[in-house]
């Protein structure tokens, strides 16, 4: 089923999003990683909608169908877009899922709106300021420069699914590469890569939302995936679960395993809606 793209108007541009699931269901806002689009949740979102959740998936600034003319591409800015979308949809309560660097945006949003955001799911989360060596920062910038940057990103993206890549991965990667070739989109990716997450890390003590940290045991973005998952979970007084064999996108690589786990974590909010 093709979903209609809607737009949230922000001071500097528009954020693209779509909605599925019952209009009276608990709201779940799903935020994709940088270098990805809201279709990252193409396997998870329908499953959550079938469970009775109202699921909003968005394209982060500069990605997908969202505008590129923003001046701020930090995780805090992404978090502010999440809060604005929740308000736009008129939700009194909401849950947020954030993947990779968008997990920092989910943390920022939860700290900003503790009375609204009840639960957050952080998948393969980058939520800490982890200094990268200067040589690595330079290498990453060179690797993803135009004109070869979009294709290089596509090759890198393939490595994020080490065990059970989705059947549509080749087509999906081609669409991501085509999107990154559009003016301003690769530059938005660079700006997000440059964000050190310190603003979001500083707000971790303010988070009151129940939190689930989910990590693939073969996530290539972390030298020690389980150690990072445990550390983040400890900082947030959270649960953490390892998905054996999965890479950076366990919800897309192993949706039949991951979707029920996330739905179970979010299920208590359905009870609250049914019995306020």
Q: Which helix (H) or strand (E) holds 215?
A: strand 210-216
Residue 15 has pLDDT above 90, yes or no: yes
Residue 138 has pLDDT above 80, yes or no: no
Residue 114 has pLDDT above 80, yes or no: yes
Distance, C-alpha 190 to centroid of its chain: 17
Describe the chain by its helix, strand, coil percentages, rounded to 5: 45, 15, 40
Percent of the chain whose predicted confidence (pLDDT) is above 90: 85
Confidence bin at 130 (pLDDT 50/70/90) = confident
- The tokens for 108 are 């920022």
What is the DSSP code string of 4-50? Answer: PPEEEEETTEEEEEEEES-TTSPEEEEEPPTT--GGGGTTHHHHHHH
pTM for this one? 0.94
Confidence bin at 148 (pLDDT 50/70/90) = confident
Residue 92 has pLDDT above 60, yes or no: yes
Crossing angle between the packed helical segments 185-193 and 169-180, to the nearest 10 degrees: 100
Residue 90 has pLDDT above 70, yes or no: yes
For residue 52, report the phi and psi dihedrals to the nearest 5 degrees.
Answer: 100, 5
Integer Cα distance of 258 and 142 in angstroms: 35
Give the model confidence (pLDDT) of 174-211 as tens digits. 999 999 999 999 999 999 988 889 999 999 999 999 99
Show the domains of the chain with their CATH numbers.
6-274 (3.40.50.1820)
Q: Return the bridge partners of 239, or none.
A: 212
**Do 229 and 137 contact (CB within 8 A), yes or no?**
no
Q: Is 270 exposed, middle or buried (0-12, 13-18, 19+ CB in 10 A)?
A: middle
Q: Quick check: bond before 5 cis, omega within 30?
A: no
Integer Cα distance of 180 and 144 in angstroms: 10
């Amino acid at each position: 089923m093709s979903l209609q793209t809607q737009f949230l108007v922000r001071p500097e541009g528009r954020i693209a999003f779509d909605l599925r699931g019952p209009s009276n269901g608990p709201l779940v806002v799903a935020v994709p990683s940088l270098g990805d689009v809201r279709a990252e949740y193409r396997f998870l979102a329908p499953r959550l909608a079938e469970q009775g959740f109202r699921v909003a998936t968005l394209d982060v600034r500069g990605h997908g169908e969202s505008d590129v003319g923003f001046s701020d591409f930090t995780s805090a800015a992404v978090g502010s877009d999440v809060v604005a979308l929740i308000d736009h949809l008129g939700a009194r309560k909401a849950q947020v899922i954030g993947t990779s660097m968008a997990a920092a945006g989910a943390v920022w949003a939860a700290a900003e709106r503790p009375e609204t955001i009840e639960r957050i799911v952080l998948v393969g989360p980058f939520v800490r300021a982890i200094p990268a060596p200067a040589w690595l920062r330079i290498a990453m910038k060179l690797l993803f420069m135009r004109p070869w940057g979009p294709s290089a990103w596509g090759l890198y993206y393939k490595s994020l699914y080490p065990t059970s890549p989705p059947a549509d991965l080749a087509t999906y990667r081609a669409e991501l590469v085509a999107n990154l070739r559009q003016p301003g989109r690769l530059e938005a990716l660079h700006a997000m890569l440059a964000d050190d997450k310190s603003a979001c890390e500083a707000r971790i003590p303010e988070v009151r939302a129940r939190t689930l940290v989910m990590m693939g045991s073969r996530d290539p973005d972390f030298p020690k995936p389980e150690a990072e998952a445990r550390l983040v979970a400890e900082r947030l007084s959270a649960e953490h679960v390892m998905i054996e064999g999965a890479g950076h996108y366990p919800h897309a690589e192993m949706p039949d395993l991951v979707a029920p786990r996330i739905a179970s974590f979010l299920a208590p909010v359905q009870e609250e809606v049914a019995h306020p």
